[in-house]
Structure 1
Amino acid sequence: MRWAELQGKRVAVWGFGREGRAALSALARHLPGQPVALYCVTGEVETARAAFPTVDVRDVAPDADALAAHDVVIKSPGISAYKPELLDAKLRGTRFTSGSALWFGEHVGARTVAVTGTKGKSTTSALIAHLARSLGVRTALAGNIGIPMLELDEARADLWVVELSSFQTGEAMGVDLGVVTSLYEEHLDWHGSRERYVDDKLKLLSASAKVLVNALQPLLLERAFDHPGLHTFGEMSGWHVADGWIRRGDERVIETARISAPGLHNAINACAALAALEIMGFDARAAAPALATFAPLPHRLQPLGERDGLAWINDSISTTPLASLAALESVGRQRIALIVGGHDRGLDWTPFVEAMRVRAPEAIVCQGANGPRIADALEEAGIAGVYRAVDLPAAVAAARVALAGQGCVLLSPGAPSFDQFHDYTERGKRFAELAGFEASTASIQGLGVT
């Protein structure tokens, strides 16, 4: 959809997070004087009216009748496209769009790499941008990673690196290269089922002229097999990790120990980034040394330091059980107290439990809303070292007791934060405080255009 299609229409913005604010600002720039309604929560009303005095602010959740009263609704990504009231209004003629869709509609012809995946999409996106900039390419980094596309709708760049969540992949169009890093079960509360999640995630394939997928994931290969522009990473003939090196086929390019972002999964993310640059026509080998100067993203296996004889690692971004397993693998065989649990959205913890039968850490501290369910499953499987805690402060205290001053406390919850916190960032900062560090205010480096 393009801005011209909204001219003179009955337009509403649904949601007043950063995406919603970006949409309202962009509307004012592109269609000055255009009437617009905003649906937000009660606590946001004063701020919304002060920032956008000409907007009709409504502090109610819109029902189908309210939505159907508009020709176009610009929806924030976190609002499910499968809400009954949205589907009802859609049948009655209301068109739903988003900031991402409007950006893509207005930027046909931009050189664009769009990245999605259950895990690794943020780091891979940031790596692509960092490596491209190391070659002197003016690069934009935006999207789900932390800056809405509409905040950059008047910016100019030679390469656009756009991270897309599963909520946004269906809104992309005209993408030069679509990258899918991984595919696991997630966001079932938004999509409604695992099958729909997979289908929505992989809508990026049809929006992209070329695609790059993880060869280590059979489902991805199967779904992308018929794409005429298929490329892969992670297999021996291309960019892959073997014997402590990132390799291009048989060629050793850079030792994994030189990569600033720790762990095997980050080395695989680096392979994806290098492969993406190569496909886009850049010299990936020349960019590889810049992997040593990349700033790891906060709350993603972020080493906080040592306190009281313990190492502390913040992986608050982890929202699936498989992400917790990947974190354990990356941290290695030291004595670990793993903190898991949070908001319960019904994900299957069976693969996690089965993996614990083979090699469990010193302690698994189960906390939050789904903590009891995880603990029950582990104990039924005969896993030793299971602790129960009602919340994150109690979990940190239990981890200290379990390790007795020797080892590593790893927060990798495998679940969202909404049972106790606004988001994973707030959870990670609280973990840092409980560990004895100042709450990190670090943001992702490189957002925007450089």
Structure 2
Amino acid sequence: MRISQLDGRAVALWGWGREGRAAYHAIRSRLPELALTLFCSHDEAADARALGDARLAIETAATAERLGAFEIIVKSPGISPYRAEALAAVEQGARFLGGTALWFGEHGDARTVCVTGTKGKSTTTSLLAHLLRAGGHRTALAGNIGLPLLEVLDPPQPPEFWAIELSSYQTGDVGASGARPEVAVALNLYPEHLDWHGSQARYVEDKLRLLTEGKPRIAVLNANDAVLAGLKLPDSEIHWFGHAAGWHLRGDALWRGDREIMDTASLPLPGRHNRGNLCAVLTAIEALGIDAAPLAPHAASFKPLPNRLQPLGTRDGIAYVNDSISTTPHASLAALDCYSDRRIALLVGGHDRGIDWQAFADAMRRRAPVAIVTMGENGPRIHALLAPIAAQSDFRLSAAKDLAEAMAQARAALGEAGGTVLLSPGAPSFGPYRDYVARGRHFAELAGFDPDAIVAIDGLGIA
């Protein structure tokens, strides 16, 4: 849908975070006289009223009855369309769209590479932009990574390519826009965001909508993911990574088919999974018609993203690694694999979305760190799973009421021998923190580092 098609219709905005504000300004840039209604929290209402927009009505109760009064509702990504009031509004004739759908409606001819996956999508999207730029291609880096697409609705000098990260909250917007991505990359699928999607099956279905409904010209898929490996996409050409015929790893060596390209051991891509995602990036670049092999060595100059296995430094013989973006048990296990040669005190726990931690607990029978400290809303549930395993093993298990206490317990567990405190919580930050960035900042502060120095993502926007 084009923004111009909202003219003359009953339109509401739902949510006033960064995405909601971007949607407001984008609509206003095209339709300055359109009457809009904003549904937001009491705290957000004052900020919206400060705009002084006489054509913007502000309400703080998004009931089914009120939502159902609108034809189009532009919804912020964090608001689930499966909420009872949203489902009731749809029955009354309301249609929900996200800002991503509006952007694609305006950029149907753009050369887009959309990246999704449970783990690694931000690093993959950023690395994609980095390598394309290294090859002399003007490229935009935007989307879920930290720059809403509607904030770059009308760039003065359009890029040649768009590297776009999409969360499971946004993947359905691509198909809803009527546009078709040139390339879509799917990295992996693990249980995630079950509170938003309602079930693991629906999460997988929603995640795959980028492929099944977006119908990209080329789909770049992970040959080693069981769900993706069995996917049928009659409207797309499939290019595989992680397969011997394409880009893949053999140990630390990067191969293209039967040709060895380079060693990846020294690349600033922590963990084998991230180096595996380099294969996804190179496959996507080839899908754009570009020779990827000469660009692969430029991965050496990539700057790792904050809050993603981010080494902060060492204080008093203890190193600190910030993996605050880790929101699944699978991510915590991957983080432990990256540091299997170190004495690790692992901090886990946060907002409880009902995700099963049994596989994580089973793995601790074979490869536990020196210590595990549980915290947060689901901390007691994780602790209960681990307690009988710890009783028969040599790792130290403790429980903390918050991050500060968890840090103190982790340091004590490492003792004079030192080691690494690894924040890889495997759960969202909601409750004590606004988001994973705020949690990472607090971790850095507690460790004795400047939180302002760790948060910037290089390369956002167009370059």
Instruction: Report the TM range for the smaller structure's normalisation.
Output: over 0.9
What's the counterpart of residue 168 of structure 1?
Answer: 170
Secondary structure (helix, strand or coil) at the match of 1:232 reads strand
- Count how many residue pairs are aligned between Structure 1 and Structure 2: 450
Please point out which of 370, 384, 390 is paired with 1:376: 384
Q: What SS does the corresponding residue of 1:51 show, helix, strand or coil?
A: coil
Taking the aligned partners of 1:217 and 1:357, their CA distance within structure 2 comes to: 24
- Find out whether 1:352 has 2:354 as its counterpart: no
Indicate the SS of the match to 1:213: strand
Letter in 1 for 2:104: F
Rounded Cα–Cα distance in structure 1 between residues aligned with 2:409 and 2:308: 22
- Partners of 1:330 and 1:224 lie apart in 2 by 33
Q: Distance in 2 between matches of 1:226 and 1:331?
A: 41
Counterpart in the other structure of 1:447: 460
Shift of 1:258: 3.4
Which residue of 234, 239, 249 corresponds with 1:241? 249
Matched, 1:205 2:211: yes
Instruction: Please identify, of 358-367 and 244-253, the stretch whose mean Cα deviation from structure 2 is larger.
Output: 244-253
Query: Superposition pairs for residues 398-413 of structure 1, below 5 Å?
Result: 398-405=409-416, 406-413=418-425
Given that residues 205 and 224 in structure 1 are in contact (C-alpha distance below 8 angstroms), is that contact kept between their aligned partners in structure 2?
Answer: no
Equivalent in the alignment of 1:294: 302
Deviations along 1:205-264, one digit per CA (max 9) or x if unpaired, are 121121111111111111246564111111222111113211112222121123122221
Partner of 2:403: 392
Cα distance between partner residues in 2 of 1:437 and 1:266: 25
Give SS of 1:286's match.
helix
The residue number in structure 1 matching 2:279 is: 271
Contact residue 261 and residue 293 of structure 2 kept, 8 A: yes
- Read off the aligned partner of 1:163 and give its amino acid letter: E
Q: Secondary structure at the match of 1:230?
A: strand
CA distance in 1, matches of 2:338, 2:102: 39
CA shift, 1:58, in A, is 2.5
CA distance in 1, matches of 2:166, 2:101: 11
* Alignment partners' CA distance in 1, 2:40 and 2:120: 31
SS in 2 for 1:246: strand
Q: 1:187 to 1:128 in 2, by over 3 A?
A: same
Matches within 5 A, 1:396-435: 396-405=407-416, 406-435=418-447
Residue type of the alignment partner of 2:374? C
Is the CA contact 2:252–2:263 (under 8 Å) kept in the aligned structure 1? yes
Provide Cα deviations, 1:315-349, integer angstroms capped at 9, x if missing partner: 00000000000000112221100000011111000
Distance 1:270 1:55 in 2: 48
Instruction: Give the corresponding residue for 1:136.
Output: 136
Determine if contact 2:34/2:55 at 8 Å carries over to the other structure. no
Structure 1 Cα separation of the partners of residues 126 and 262 of structure 2? 19
SS at the partner of 2:182?
strand
**2:191 pairs with one of 166, 185, 188:** 185
**1:38–1:55 contact (8 Å) kept in structure 2:** no
Q: Distance in 1 between matches of 2:301 and 2:79?
A: 37
Q: Aligned residue for 1:253?
A: 261
Q: Distance in 2 between matches of 1:321 and 1:225?
A: 29
Return closer, same or farther for 1:287/1:375 CA change in 2, 3 Å cut-off: same
CA contact (8 A) 1:240 1:248 kept: yes
- For the Cα contact (< 8 Å) 1:340–1:412, is it kept in 2? yes
Amino acid at match of 2:280: A
Per-residue CA deviations over 1:340-383 (Å, capped at 9, x if unaligned) read 00111110001101111111000011111111111110112345
**CA contact under 8 A between 2:45 and 2:60: conserved in structure 1?**
no
What percent of counterpart residues are identical? 51
Distance 1:55 1:429, change over 3 A: farther
Between 352-361 and 58-67, the greater mean CA deviation after superposition: 58-67
RMSD: 1.3
Letter in 2 for 1:23: A
Establish whether residue 342 from structure 1 lines up as the match of residue 350 from structure 2: yes
For the Cα contact (< 8 Å) 1:113–1:175, is it kept in 2?
Answer: yes
* Aligned mates of 1:14, 1:93 — CA distance in 2: 16
Q: TM-score, normalised by structure 1?
A: 0.97
Q: Distance in 2 between matches of 1:258 and 1:281?
A: 28
Give 1:57 deviation, angstroms: 4.1
Secondary structure at 2:127's aligned position in 1? helix
Question: For structure 2, which runs of at least 5 residues remain unmatched after alignment?
Answer: none
- What is the match of residue 226 of structure 2? 218
**2: CA distance between counterparts of 1:244 and 1:252?**
11
- 1:305 is matched with 313
Report if aligned partners of 1:176, 1:209 keep a CA contact under 8 Å in 2: yes
Tell whether 2:333 aligns with 1:333: no
- Whole-angstrom CA distance in 1 between matches of 2:422 and 2:313: 12
Secondary structure at 1:212's aligned position in 2?
A: strand
Determine helix, strand or coil for the equivalent of 2:221. Answer: strand
TM-score (norm 2): 0.95
User: Partners of 1:53 and 1:34 in 2: how far apart?
Assistant: 11
| Other structure's SS at 2:87 match | helix
How far residue 55 of structure 1 moved from its aligned partner, in angstroms, is: 4.4
SS of aligned partner of 1:258: coil
49 and 179 in structure 1: CA distance in 2 versus 1, 3 angstrom threshold: same
Q: Tell me, yes or no, if the aligned pair for 2:33 and 2:55 is still in contact at 8 Å.
A: no
Gaps (5+ residues) in structure 1? Answer: none
1:102 lines up with 2:111 in the alignment = no
Q: Does 1:232 align with 2:232?
A: no
CA distance in 2, matches of 1:159, 1:228: 19
Cα distance between partner residues in 1 of 2:340 and 2:290:
34
Contact 1:224-1:230 within 8 A present in 2 as well: no
Give the aligned residue type for 2:350: G
Does the 8 Å contact 2:371/2:396 carry over to 1?
A: yes
Q: Equivalents in 2 of 1:121, 1:113: separation in Å?
A: 12
Distance in 2 of aligned mates of 1:49 and 1:438: 34
